């Protein structure tokens, strides 16, 4: 990835990053945003005390129920470590939830079952019809937008809510860490249920029947009336991802899959091929920037790594073309369509903006993550 113009003095975000700005010290607005989050969500002794208080509240809410909390699992490092930590260290009775978009890697599937079986954690899964889901992917290709994999995140969110509703669970545990992942600018990716419906109606050949879409009315019902709180424990933990990989491998036979987001075959294609080739966007810059902010990597080493092409599995592109039914010619045509964005389609974005005061209140009540409030309700 080529950098253009000014580069942040703390991370490696440059002028190619959407909506970036730099202050008089040469620090980008995203680093300042992370600093604000670090003040709000401390680690160390204070973070441990806060997390223990949250755990106590989770256990109190789960009293008399089968489960204390529902936790999303993908077979990746963050979610696997979090299942281990919340079960082994804090003794929570967890229900794991997984959205199977039928593109899982074998490693991811094995990781999920190895960790959950060893910890005696039940699994709730929603499996979408593979033909229907592949049709959704084809639709997003034809729409000319960047957000081809947004149905995966939406599907997981709905799966978590449905699991919580079914078992009367009041807490949802998520594996995101702004310290290791950063906060992706809105211009990099957008997702909502209305967006998926609109794109599928215009370009798809199949109706949405098995896909667990997240309609706003359901989202608000689960948050406001269901009172299902979203908790991100990694915000309060001094999380060493490399140490976590070692622990998981030694304890559960967990396997590394090559990089962040690469545990799913289609998601791996998106990050290692589609974003860089179609959009000149390399999401590794977010992870490397996070490592620079934390002092785990020098800016010089990060910039050198960015000069190397992303790792891509052999035959992965051919697999995507074959499964989605694209000939080489059609695939190249789709990869070179005029670029469009979510703004070219109907979405909930304007509604989110109008409901900004409500979502601020929901964020303060831990019913919606602050990252959602920051990115999706801003004009």
Confidence (pLDDT) at 120: 97
- Match 């140490």 to its residue by tokens: 243
Tokens matching residue 161: 């809510």
Confidence (pLDDT) at 258: 65
3-state secondary structure of 150: helix
- Could you tell me which of 259, 314, 214, 265 has the C-alpha nearest to residue 101? 265
Confidence (pLDDT) at 209: 97
Beta strands per DSSP E along the chain: 69-72, 94-100, 122-127, 171-173, 229-231
DSSP 23-72: -TTS-BHHHHHHHHHHHHS--HHHHHHHHHHHHHHHHHHHTTSS-SEEEE
What is the C-alpha separation between 137 and 324, in angstroms, rounded? 8
3-state helix, strand, coil in the chain (%, to 5): 55, 10, 40
User: Helices 150-167 and 130-143 sit at what angle, rounded to 10 degrees?
Assistant: 140
| Segments of the chain with pLDDT less than 50 | 1
- Could you tell me which of 252, 235, 238 has the C-alpha nearest to residue 83? 252
Confidence (pLDDT) at 259: 59
What is the C-alpha separation between 245 and 78, in angstroms, rounded? 9
Whether 205 and 135 have beta carbons less than 8 Å apart is answered as yes
What is the C-alpha separation between 160 and 228, in angstroms, rounded? 10
Q: How many CA atoms lie within 13 A of 340 on its CB side?
A: 16
**Which conformational region is residue 194 in: left (phi greater than 0), alpha (psi within -120 to 50 degrees), or beta?**
alpha
pLDDT in tens, 87-138: 999 999 999 999 999 999 899 999 999 999 999 999 999 999 999 999 999 9
pTM confidence score? 0.92
Confidence (pLDDT) at 1: 46
Tokens matching residue 350: 């304007």
Whether 77 and 245 have beta carbons less than 8 Å apart is answered as yes
């Amino acid at each position: 990835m080529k950098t253009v113009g000014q580069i942040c003095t703390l991370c490696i975000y440059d002028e190619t990053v959407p909506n970036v700005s730099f202050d008089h010290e040469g620090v980008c607005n995203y680093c300042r945003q992370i600093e604000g989050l670090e003040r709000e969500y401390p680690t160390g002794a204070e973070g441990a005390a806060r997390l223990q208080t949250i755990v106590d509240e989770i256990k109190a809410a789960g009293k008399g129920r089968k489960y204390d909390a529902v936790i999303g699992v993908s077979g990746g490092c963050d979610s696997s470590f979090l299942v281990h930590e919340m079960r082994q260290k804090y003794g929570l009775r967890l229900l794991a939830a997984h959205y199977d978009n039928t593109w899982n890697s074998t490693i991811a599937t094995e990781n999920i079952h190895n960790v959950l079986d060893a910890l005696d954690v039940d699994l709730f899964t929603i499996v979408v019809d593979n033909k229907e889901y592949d049709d959704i992917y084809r639709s997003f290709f034809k729409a000319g937008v960047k957000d081809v994999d947004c149905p995966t995140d939406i599907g997981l969110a709905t799966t978590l809510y449905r699991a919580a509703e079914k078992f009367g669970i009041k807490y949802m545990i998520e594996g995101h860490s702004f310290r290791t992942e950063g906060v992706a600018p809105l211009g990099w990716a957008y997702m909502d249920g209305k967006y998926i419906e609109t794109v599928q109606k215009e370009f798809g050949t199949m109706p949405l029947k098995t896909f667990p879409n997240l309609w706003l009315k359901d989202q608000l019902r689960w948050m406001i009336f269901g009172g299902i709180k979203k908790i991100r424990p990694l915000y309060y933990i001094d999380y060493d991802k490399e140490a976590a990989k070692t622990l998981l491998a030694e304890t559960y036979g967990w396997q590394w899959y090559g990089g962040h987001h690469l545990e799913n075959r289609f998601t791996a294609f998106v990050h290692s091929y589609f974003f860089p080739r179609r959009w000149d966007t390399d999401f590794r810059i977010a992870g490397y920037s996070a490592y620079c902010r934390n002092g785990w990597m020098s800016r010089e080493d990060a910039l050198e790594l960015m000069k190397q092409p992303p790792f891509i599995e052999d035959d992965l592109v051919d697999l995507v073309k074959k499964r989605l039914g694209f000939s080489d010619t059609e695939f190249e045509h789709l990869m070179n369509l005029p670029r469009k964005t979510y703004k070219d389609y109907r979405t909930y974005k304007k509604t989110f903006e109008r409901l900004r005061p409500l979502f601020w209140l929901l964020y303060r009540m831990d019913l919606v993550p602050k990252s959602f409030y920051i990115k999706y309700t801003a004009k």
